[in-house]
Amino acid sequence: MEPPGCVLASRPSGERQREWSMKAYAVSLLGWVLVPLVALAQQSAPADLNTITGITVSGGTVEINGSKKPDFNSFTMTDPPRLVIDVSGAVFQGVEAELPVANGTVTGIRTAMYGTESASIARILIGYEREVETDIQSAGNKLVVKVLGAGGGTAVAANTPPAQQQGTAEIASATNTPAGANAQDAARAAASDRDAQDKAAKAAADAARADRENQEKAAAEAAARAKEDAESERKKQEEARLASQRQDEERRASEEAAIAERKRQEEDARVAAKRAEDERRATEQAAADAKRQQAEQAQASAKNTAEERRAAAQAAAEAKRAEAQAAAQAKREQAEQARTAAADAKRQQAEEAQAAAQARREEQQQARVAAAEAKRQQAAEARERRQERTVASRESTARPSQGSAAREPRESGGGATSSRRKTMTLVGFQQQPDSSRVFVRTNEPVRYNVSDAGNQVVLELENTRVVESNNTLPLDTHFFPSAVSRVEAVPGAGHTVRVVIQLKQGVRYQTRQEGGLITLDFPRPGR
């Protein structure tokens, strides 16, 4: 930091131009990275930073007011003439990014922020109408920039470390020092400025890159969390909907069962009440008849024979009437029982009809599923036959010309296997540190033959088919550091599957089968 009252001398013209060109490049590099941070930096000022709250211009004097004693560096630029002041550990608050002046000496002032929150740098760029010499002094919390006078030279301000304060004082008294000493001191100050600007540019670029990476990472994490939350919420809503649907179905079934049971109980109660009422009436009638008969018999015994005959006839009539009533009662009871039995039978028939309809629906569904499965199986078999015909056609076209040697199996394996036709479920390639592996997976152990000729190895699986068409797509492996450049599985003639392995160069290989997995290991070239 410059001591108060430090006066800065001008530099030689050629050296200043070279230094200014390097500094102009550093400033242009920092500008596009750092300017977007101005608005953010002016929103708040931490208590431990120097808060610049105002910049005033009076003629050729510019005053920069802060909350702490400034620690600054400065350098000049040409075309047009400008003075750049960087205040370390400082932020702007309430200061415009651009302050037009145009008072004949100062054309305008621009401000910018760069660095991080903990290492913030406030930049003030002062534009002049012409090249001038300036005097920069700090007075308390204020930084004062004065124009010493018009002329062709340009003054350069630099923040001098404590170890160089004495040299700075000597520069301040340049009027009493020879010109050669001023030039040497100016050169040292220029080198110090360049180092400071290079470090500031690198720190700004690193900070901008770190901020950008942190923002991108935070945005990606936020997007992933939002996606996870949305998926979790969707699953919860779907589970709640299904649970509500199940509850509604159970409630409706329970209500229907309760209604049916209530109707049955009401019907049973009505039938029982009617039967009890009929029995009560019959009992009362029988008791009344018996009482009346007894009275009549007692009266008849006291009368003459005629009366007795009349009483006997009346008793017979009463007895006949009682029998008729009993028969009618029995008939009514039988009719009621018949109605009850008919209702029970009708209900049972309805239940049986419903069960039969459900059974028919299930049989129809099973028939549709069986038909779809049969259709899919027929399509698979038709596709397999087409593939076999295509492979047979390819093999007939690719047969060796007359006189060429036929390829003989070099190796076979598989041992005793079942007579069922096997299915190749996967063909793949795996790069390992010292070798590469081609592996073929089947649904059960299979007999196989391995043959090679030149740069081609063929693994032939007996009594095997390929169901999934994806397993017949070629694997291009030429970009791996491996001897294998291509792997392709094709259905062969006679219910076989041929796995053709194209090599970059002929190498030894090992074949192994463990259960339904066959592996071929090829060493890396040059090992």
Q: Which residue has the higher pLDDT, 140 or 307?
A: 140
Cβ atoms 77, 16 nearer than 8 A: no
pLDDT at 527: 61
Flag whether pLDDT at 412 surpasses 90.
no
CB atoms within 10 A of CB 201: 18
pLDDT at 200: 74
- Over residues 119-132, mean pLDDT: 93
Where a domain ends, among 216, 247, 282?
A: 216
Flag whether pLDDT at 77 surpasses 70.
yes
Q: Which residue has the higher pLDDT, 504 or 380?
A: 504
Flag whether pLDDT at 127 surpasses 70.
yes
Flag whether pLDDT at 269 surpasses 50.
yes
Q: What value does the mean pLDDT of the chain take?
A: 80
Closest CA to 158 of 136, 125, 182: 136
Q: Cα separation of 238 and 250, whole Å? A: 18
Query: Is residue 274, in this structure, part of any structural domain at all?
Result: no
Closest CA to 142 of 202, 214, 70: 70
The letter for the amino acid at 383 is: R
pLDDT at 396: 53
Q: Which residue has the higher pLDDT, 254 or 188?
A: 254
Flag whether pLDDT at 178 surpasses 50.
no
Q: Which residue has the higher pLDDT, 373 or 210?
A: 210
Q: Cα separation of 463 and 449, whole Å? A: 12
Phi-psi region of 28 (alpha: psi -120 to 50; beta: other; left: phi over 0): alpha
Q: Which residue has the higher pLDDT, 125 or 347?
A: 125
Flag whether pLDDT at 411 surpasses 80.
no
pLDDT at 391: 63
Query: Is residue 155, in this structure, part of any structural domain at all?
Result: yes
pLDDT at 181: 60
Query: Is residue 390, in this structure, part of any structural domain at all?
Result: no
Q: Which residue has the higher pLDDT, 197 or 488?
A: 488
**pLDDT confidence of 46, banded at 50, 70, 90?**
low
Flag whether pLDDT at 196 surpasses 60.
yes
Alpha helix (H) residue ranges in 35-161: 38-41
Where a domain ends, among 176, 201, 216?
A: 216
Where a domain ends, among 163, 181, 216?
A: 216
pLDDT at 8: 37
Count of domains observed in the chain = 2
Query: Is residue 328, in this structure, part of any structural domain at all?
Result: no
- Over residues 272-282, mean pLDDT: 94
pLDDT at 464: 94
Closest CA to 464 of 420, 415, 408: 420
- Return the H-helix or E-strand segment holding 91: strand 90-92
pLDDT at 329: 92
Flag whether pLDDT at 390 surpasses 90.
no
Q: Give residue 497's domain range.
A: 410-523
244-262, pLDDT tens digit by residue? 999 999 999 999 999 999 9
| Gyration radius (Cα) of the chain, Å | 55
Query: Is residue 404, in this structure, part of any structural domain at all?
Result: no
Query: Is residue 318, in this structure, part of any structural domain at all?
Result: no
pLDDT at 11: 40
For the chain, give the percent of residues with pLDDT over 90: 48
The CATH number of whichever domain residue 495 belongs to comes to 2.60.40.3470
How far does the chain reach from its first CA to its final CA, in angstroms? 64
Residue 90 φ then ψ, to 5°: -135, 155
Q: Which residue has the higher pLDDT, 407 or 369?
A: 369
The CATH number of whichever domain residue 139 belongs to comes to 2.60.40.3500
- Residue 4 token pair: 């108060």
Q: Which residue has the higher pLDDT, 520 or 386?
A: 520
Flag whether pLDDT at 36 surpasses 50.
no
Q: Which residue has the higher pLDDT, 1 or 291?
A: 291
Q: 141-160 burial, b if ≥16 CB within 10 A, otherwise e? A: bebebbbeeeeebbbbbbbb
Q: Which residue has the higher pLDDT, 267 or 301?
A: 267
Query: Is residue 372, in this structure, part of any structural domain at all?
Result: no
pLDDT at 513: 95
pLDDT at 137: 94
- Residue 443 token pair: 């649904």
Choose the weakest-confidence range: 59-63, 159-163, 224-228, 459-463: 159-163
- Return the H-helix or E-strand segment holding 466: strand 464-466
Closest CA to 41 of 101, 126, 114: 114
141-172, pLDDT tens digit by residue? 999 999 996 433 333 333 333 333 333 333 33
**pLDDT confidence of 180, banded at 50, 70, 90?**
low
**pLDDT confidence of 202, banded at 50, 70, 90?**
confident
pTM over 0.75: no
**pLDDT confidence of 218, banded at 50, 70, 90?**
confident
For the chain, give the percent of residues with pLDDT over 70: 79
Flag whether pLDDT at 363 surpasses 70.
yes
pLDDT at 14: 43
Length of the chain: 527
Cβ atoms 193, 156 nearer than 8 A: yes
Flag whether pLDDT at 295 surpasses 60.
yes
Q: Cα separation of 174 and 182, whole Å? A: 7
Q: What dihedral do alpha carbons 258, 263, 267, 269 form, nearest 10°? A: 50
Q: Which residue has the higher pLDDT, 356 or 501?
A: 501
Question: At 125, is the secondary structure helix, strand, or coil?
Answer: strand
317-357, pLDDT tens digit by residue? 999 999 999 999 999 998 999 989 899 889 888 888 888 88
435-444, pLDDT tens digit by residue? 999 999 999 9
**pLDDT confidence of 52, banded at 50, 70, 90?**
very high
Residue 268: C-alpha distances to residues 254, 256, 328, 349 (Å): 21, 18, 23, 19
pLDDT at 33: 42
Bridge partners for 130 per DSSP: none
Query: Is residue 327, in this structure, part of any structural domain at all?
Result: no
- Over residues 450-454, mean pLDDT: 90
416-432, pLDDT tens digit by residue? 788 899 999 999 999 99
Q: Which residue has the higher pLDDT, 56 or 402?
A: 56
